[in-house]
Amino acid sequence: MIDLRSDTVTLPTNEMKKFIINSPLGDDVYGEDPSVNLLQKKIAKIFNKEAALFVPSGTMANLISVLTHCSRGDEVILGDKSHIFYYEAGGISAFGGIHSHQLKNDDDGTIKINDIENSIRDVGNDHFPQTKLICLENTHNACYGSAIDSDYFSDVKEVANKNNLSIHLDGARIFNAAIKLNKSVDELTKDCDTISCCLSKGLSAPVGSVILGSKNFILKAKHIRKALGGGMRQAGLIASAGIFSLDNMINRLEDDHKNATILAKQLSDIKNIKININQVHTNIIFIYNRHQNISDTKLLSKLEKENIKIDYKGNSKFRLVTHSGFKKSDIESVVKVFKEILKDK
Ligand SMILES: *Cc1c(COP(=O)(O)O)cnc(C)c1O
């Protein structure tokens, strides 16, 4: 099976499994799991933040972060294509009573600075919720996996500072952004107060995300993690996979980006696929089915019959994501299958 639905489908390598088995464990709710502690220390250092917190998922990392920044009735500024708004079951509203102010995401994943400035509420007017937080995303999943450079964050930071707001970055794929822009993650995220980062995507750990921020923030976040049921006992068993990922899986993301570029280029030569290869930035490719007689569902089922899975977004749009389980040699077979299925009949 060639599974291109997401980089979440990555499986731990044999070396990773060996590393996991040999990792020291303890009860992390007591703060006594050496592997969790090592992971948190290690990743805090990489991001040059005071502290880190290991959590079960990226969704919980974002939820805890927003709940830590905001109180009930506060307002968060975020993009209308952001993962937090679109794909996290409305958690910040459901569990935090937090109001979201959705602003247009441009194709490059940014929100116009002007739009952000204009949406910040006047303080002291009873009509308004209080703006507390700006949430950004890098790389931006739904915006073609685009990597956003640090100057944009400096501009947002200026606005945030002027208005006493914090910035949270959904950095599920921040290492992809760093590789793409040839910058360190700490340089890329220096203007963000807090960051969430997935270990279970391109970094190929089976489970886990982290939140990064100040010592105080992480202390409060840890309390909320417990309330949400995210306090895990011998969590070193999964945290150690994250340690392995940080040591071994970051630089190889470059391969995923290269494979995505090659795959996109070759798919773009197929007549009934529409694809903008200028909008392939990292490991995420969006394609459109333009075949007159092959419906989207038919395309999906035909692909599955050939042992290929891709992600359907509706309205003839599909997403393909490259990852460590997808080899360069898989490109040829995928292109061949697409060509056969989508040829004019
Ligand atoms: C995957 C993803 C998340 C959520 O991570 P899960 O571990 O699947 O909950 C958050 N933000 C972005 C941008 C993502 O791509």
DSSP string, 275-310: --GGG--SSEEEEEE--SS--HHHHHHHHHHTTEE-
What integer is the mean pLDDT of 163-173?
Answer: 98
pLDDT of residue 269: 96
> Which residue among 6, 55, 59 has the greatest number of ligand 1 atoms within 8 angstroms of its CB, and so is best to mutate?
59
| Lowest mean per-residue pLDDT among 178-182, 198-202, 317-321, 340-344 | 340-344
| 299, pLDDT greater than 80 | yes
Dist. CA 61 → ligand 1 center (Å): 9
103 three-state secondary structure = strand
Quote the ligand 1 centre to 288 CA distance (angstroms): 23
Average pLDDT, the chain: 97
Q: What is the pLDDT of residues 26-77, one digit of tens each?
A: 999 999 999 999 999 999 999 999 999 999 999 999 999 999 999 999 999 9
pLDDT in tens, 130-156: 999 999 999 999 999 999 999 999 999
Three-state SS for 3?
A: strand
Q: Calculate how far, in angstroms, residue 62's C-alpha sits from the geometric centre of ligand 1.
A: 9
Q: Is the pLDDT of residue 185 over 90?
A: yes
Q: Which residues of 48-74 are buried (b: 16+ CB within 10 A; e: fewer)?
A: ebebbbbbbbbbbbbbbbbbbbbeeeb
Q: How would residue 170 be classed by pLDDT, with cut points 50, 70 and 90?
A: very high
Would the CB of 65 count as within 6 Å of ligand 1? no
Q: State if pTM tops 0.95.
A: yes
Amino acid 3: pLDDT = 98
pLDDT at 199: 98
pLDDT of residue 345: 76
Quick one: pLDDT at residue 344? 86
